[in-house]
Every structure is written in structure tokens, then in C-alpha cells.
Amino acid sequence: MHSGNGTSKKRRRGSRIFRLKTFCDPGHPVHFKAGSSFQENVSSLLEFGNQEESLHGPATRCWSFQLEVHRNPPSSVLLFVVEEMVEKSHPLRCQHCSFIGWGHHMICRKRFHFLLPSKNAFLRSNEHNCKVSGKSPLVAMRESRLMEVQGLLMHGVVHSNGFGHLLCVNGIEAGSEILSGCQIVELWDRICKGLELRKVSLMDTARKGAMDLRLIHGVAYGEPWFGLWGYRFDRGGYGVTLQMYQRSVDALRRLPLCFLLPHYGSSRPELAFIITKYQAMASHSLVTLGHLLQFMLDLKGRLLPDAFAAMDYRRITMEPACRWSTRRLEMAAQVIVDALRRANFRWVSRQDVREAARAYVGDTGLLDFVLKSLGNQVVGNYVVRRMVNPATKILQYCLEDVSGEMATVSGPKPPGGDPRSERVVRLQTTRVQLKKDLFSLYKYVLMDQNPAPATGVFAAVPVAVKTILDTKLLVKDYWKDPALESKVGGEDRSIKLLCTVHPSIGAGGEGRRQALPPYELLTLPGHATIGNLKMAVERTFRDMYLGLTTFAAKKVVDVDAEDSELVFGKIETGSRLVISGTVDRGAVGREGTYEGCDRAVDCRCGVKEEDGERMVGCDICGVWQHTRCAGRADGEGLLAFFICGQCQHDIALLPSFLP
């Protein structure tokens, strides 16, 4: 009877709907214990998930969480958490660890994948299955092989030691139906904070249309787009250092606009117009390229989308806040359009439109509702445009004639506006036009696609751009040492210690010693002995790492004590301890111990480790180097035979055997 109640409670938990905006905040759905490990926290979280029986296999288990995006109209997404047993998977190693410099980490026994698929991605993957069986998209989601679905909105993977990688983020422009890239990264960031991860890496290849976001955002704000969430430079590709990256960003940000005008005046006159236009629109002076791009990106965030559609009155009447008939909505919308038409296509403030319409419609609630619904909507032969004035921050409306008679929306000074707002409104721009202007600056200034030869300061622009584009590997450090306070006195006193192991491969303990795994927090009762400490360390590290399944703890380094002695009194709470021990040589082969492989890297750019860029191995000495450094373009096919420069030099020095 008791068991039945527990099962029912778990079923109710799994069917809950969680809010996307608060998921993994404290108490949503669980309060994580301070100082708990990632494995403990993720286990607590998965108790609230819906276990997906159909996705069980020899190497994975899966849970799902339904996350509410909007309540009205209702919309939600499914977050899947897949637990992967690494020993039964292929490949064992994680290439992302090698790219970011974590190749010295031991292979963990488990990996957790956090997947946010789009409905369209599932439909594409299961189109035939859905047509034959008539299954809904939700059922198709749950019966798909998640790891094989193309078009994921988010994919993050976390090793059981708390180190993870954000592998992809795809917002609206990449196919997301309702979630923006910012919303997806914010969700991932809350998950990482709530589960107390250590470090998370990513390869920044995000693009905004045809532009590399790390370049355009770096020049505008001095940091990559992911820097908004605390991701920082960790290592650059092709030997780029932090100093090289910062100097490149600063050089482009400080490029004076007064230099650009004469340089592009004859070859690209449209650039001069773009610069002067936005300088006139700004309420403050725009002196450098960084100032200009930052103003344009900020302005783009305040402009409404340019797409428009016919006013759908029937859909509007279905909204819970609507209490008016279709006929009354149509009448109010026509009154508002007539009031705007009498303004001769000028931009008019919301208050002025409302007051003009009140002469014909006395129901102010109806007017407010329709004004809220209007915005890039077609009413009759007109598009009702709506935007916030960048200078006055006042919501304004105007009409655009789409009947075939081209009406100009030049926008003079709105009533009551100051001279500065008049200057801004006369130079109004649309989001589409602003995107075109941004791309022009990106293409001709940053990417240097112009016929004029690069001289003076402009000769350094391609070098700086290349350095920024070669900087893709970013890391965020989430780890904070837990507050290790001893609870002295009483029956609940405990000792908290940060422990790691120093294994030696071979039963005799004479094998080759390797890098230490990250420290793990262990909590022991006040009466624990040194022997109990060793057993706890063995249990923790055997469960976590594939190469330590046979680890036997021998000695606490720098602590002279017998197994029967109490930890309390010998070791202070909060101490960092190294426990040496042995691992059976035959238990796990060397190829299954560490994330990094034994590939030798020695490139002419100075790189000695893999960095995620394309590489090729010498067919004589086996040393790997970048294909780009070897003179091979990234878009070209693989080399059938490659000899590195050193081997070519050695071959040239060989004596000739010809007579």
C-alpha cells in the first residue's frame, strides 16, 4: 500500500508542467543542497522528470520535462535529459574535451545530454512514421532516437565530474518556432547554475544571418555574444593568445569613423551615407567603429519587425482579454486608420491617435485593445506601422500605403517633440534596412571586400579580423568552493573534505602516474576513521571514472595515520587531500582511461594540442598540423598524401643514390 502511494506520487511529479523562465531556479522544481556534487543534483532533478520507457536501451536512459513558454496562447517545449553509459557507447572519448584542453581528464562513467528539440525537427525525422501511424508530434518526439535528430535547438553534454560542453544553440533564425537564442542560453545557464557544474566550454560559431556574431558583437561591445552569460576566452585556434585577441578587438573598436569616410568615399559611397545617417540619428556622438556598431545593434533591438499581415479579427476575438465582437473591432480599427490618414502619413504618438479616435468611438477600452493589437497589420489598403521613438521613448503610429500608390513615410516632428526627436524621426529606418546597413559595414569594412587597396591603419584590419574569427573556444567557470564549516558538537557534527586520487597503474604501484582528477567534496560523520575516509574515496571515484573501477586507496598523502585512527583531530575540516592508490593494469586499457588521445601535434603556428580546427597528419612522421597552416584551404578536400615541412627538409638532405 505504501509502495503504491509512492508510485502514484512519482507519476504525478513526472506529468507536471514547469515554467521555462524559472526552470532550475531554487525550488523550481527542487532546492539543490549547497555543496552537493553534480551527480547528486542531477539525480534530484530527474525525480521530477517523466521517464521515457520507449527510449531505454543498453547505453541510455531518458527523462523529459515539459516547459511552458507562454500561457496565452499556450505553448511549450520538451527538454530531454539522456543519461549515457559511456562504457557501452562509442566512441569512449569526448573530442570536445581534447579541443578545450581537458584531454588530461579521466573518462567518466556517465555523460548527461540535455536536448531541446524543435517539433519540426522531429516531424522531419519521423515524417513517414507519422503519416503511416497518424501519431502526434508529441508522440513522435518521445519515440525518436534523440541523439540522431537533426535540428536541435539546444544540445549540452555534461560529464559526471561536472565538466560540460554547450554543443549547439539554434534560435529563431535557425529554425526555432517560439524560442530565441537568448531564451535558450538563459535556460542552459540556469541548468548549469542549479546543478552546480564546474566548467562549461563551447565553440562559438554563432551567426546572425551572413555575419559571424563573435566578430560583429566583439567590435560593438568588446566581447563575444556568449560573453553576456559569462563565457570568456580560454584558448584561440591557430595559436591565438588572449593578448592577441584583446589587441585585435581594441584595434577594430577604436577605428575612427573620420578615417572611413575618405577611405571609402569614392569606392563605396553608400558607406559614407550609412555612417552620416546613424551619426545624425544618435543622441550622442559616434566617433569610432565600435560606437557605430553598438548604436546600430541597440537600435535594432528597439525596432519592431517589418513583417506584416492582414488584421485577423476572428483570431483576436478568441483572445481571453477580448470582449468585443468582430464587427466592433473592425469599426474601431477603421476609425484609427482614418485618424492616421488625416495625419498625412506622419508619425503620431499613441496618445494623439487615441484622442482623435475618441471623437467617434467612446469605448476607450476598445480603443486601447485595438491599438495594442495593431502593429505591422494590414487594414484595408494600409499597413499600420508602430515603433518606439529612439529619442523620446514614446510609442508612435503611422500608415504606409500598399495599394500601389507609393506613399512616403518621411516622418516630421511629432506634436510636442523636441528638436532632437525631430532629427531622429526624419531619419527613421526599418529593421530590414538596418540589417542591410549592418551587413554593408561587415562586408566592406570588416571583411575588406572592396576594390581600394588597404593602406595605413586599414592594412591591419584583415589581420585583426582573422584573429577574432580564429577565437572560438570559450569557457565559463561555475565552480565555487563550498563553504566548508565544521559542525562541532552534538550528534550531527560532520567533517567536509575535498579529495582527489593519485592512481598508479599496476598492482605493485610502480606504474606511470598521471594527472590528478578534480577534487570532490566528501562529507564524513564526526566518528569516521582514516579507513572510512579511504573507503569513501574509493566508492566515489570508482563510481565516477571508468579507469578507476578497480582503484584501491593505499595512503592519504602527507598524513601519517593508521586506518583505525579518527579523521577528527588528524585532519581539519575543509582540507584538500590527495589519496594515493593503485589500479589493476588489465582492468581498463590505456585507450579507455583519459579523454585525450596520443596524437602528436606540432604545427608551424605554435599549437601543440588539438584546438578543434581541421588538421592533417604527416604520412611519414605522423605529426599533425592545421590544414590551413599546411597551405590547404578549409573548403578543399582531404589530402591523399601529406608530408610535413620537417620531413620534406630531411628528405632533401638525404644523399642521392643516382650515378
Greater model confidence, 600 or 72: 600
Among the ranges given (35-44, 296-305, 519-528, 580-589), the one the predictor scored with the smallest mean pLDDT = 580-589
Predicted local distance difference test score (pLDDT) of residue 404: 40
pLDDT one-digit tens code per residue, 489-509:
434 578 889 999 998 865 444
Mean pLDDT of the chain: 81
Radius of gyration of the chain (CA): 31
User: Which residues lie below 8 Å from residue 367, measured CB to CB, with a gap of 6+?
Assistant: 332, 336, 354, 357, 358, 361
Among the ranges given (108-112, 303-307, 476-480), the one the predictor scored with the smallest mean pLDDT = 303-307
Average pLDDT over residues 347-363: 90
Is residue 388 scored above 70 in pLDDT?
Answer: yes
CATH topology classification for 309-401: Nucleotidyltransferase; domain 5 (3.30.420)
CATH topology classification for 600-659: Herpes Virus-1 (3.30.40)
Task: Give dist(CA 235, CA 475) in Å, integer.
Answer: 9
Q: Read off the amino acid at residue 292.
A: L
Whether 413 and 422 have beta carbons less than 8 Å apart is answered as yes
Is residue 406 scored above 50 in pLDDT?
Answer: no
| Per-residue DSSP letter, 549 | T
Predicted local distance difference test score (pLDDT) of residue 513: 44
Is residue 441 scored above 90 in pLDDT?
Answer: yes
Task: Work out the angle at residue 51's Cα, subtended by the Cα atoms of residues 47 and 52, and round it to the nearest 5 degrees.
Answer: 165
Three-state DSSP class for 121? helix
Is residue 167 scored above 70 in pLDDT?
Answer: yes
Number of H helices, E strands in the chain: 21, 23
Predicted local distance difference test score (pLDDT) of residue 372: 87
Burial pattern 26-48, b for ≥16 Cβ within 10 A else e, equals: eeebeebeeebbbbebbebbbeb
Q: Please state, for a pLDDT cut of 90, what percent of the chain lies above it.
A: 42
Task: Give dist(CA 112, CA 274) in Å, integer.
Answer: 48
Q: Enumerate the β-bridge partners of residue 397.
A: 348, 386
- The dihedral region occupied by 230, where left means phi > 0, alpha psi between -120 and 50, and beta the remainder, is left
User: How far separated are the first and last CA of the chain, in Å rounded?
Assistant: 97
- Tell which residue, 234, 109, 75, 223, has the closest CA to residue 165: 234
For residue 260, what pLDDT band results from cuts at 50, 70 and 90?
Answer: confident
Name the architecture of domain 494-592: Roll (3.10)
Among the ranges given (4-8, 200-204, 261-265, 610-614), the one the predictor scored with the smallest mean pLDDT = 4-8
pLDDT one-digit tens code per residue, 193-240:
999 999 999 999 999 888 999 999 999 999 999 999 999 999 899 999
- Distance (Å) of CA 12 to CA 77, 568, 594: 19, 44, 41
pTM: 0.77
Predicted local distance difference test score (pLDDT) of residue 403: 57
Is residue 19 scored above 90 in pLDDT?
Answer: yes
Structural domain spans, the chain: 2-198, 204-303+429-477, 309-401, 494-592, 600-659
Whether 292 and 300 have beta carbons less than 8 Å apart is answered as no
Average pLDDT over residues 577-586: 87
Is residue 73 scored above 90 in pLDDT?
Answer: no
Q: DSSP string covering 307-347, please?
A: --EE--HHHHHTSTT--S-HHHHHHHHHHHHHHHHTTTT--
Predicted local distance difference test score (pLDDT) of residue 567: 94
Average pLDDT over residues 439-464: 80
Task: Give dist(CA 194, CA 196) in Å, integer.
Answer: 5
For residue 25, what pLDDT band results from cuts at 50, 70 and 90?
Answer: very high
Task: Give dist(CA 354, CA 363) in Å, integer.
Answer: 11
Is residue 149 scored above 90 in pLDDT?
Answer: no
Three-state DSSP class for 434? helix
| Per-residue DSSP letter, 620 | T
Three-state DSSP class for 280? helix
Residue 532, burial from CB neighbour count under 10 angstroms (0-12, 13-18, 19+): middle
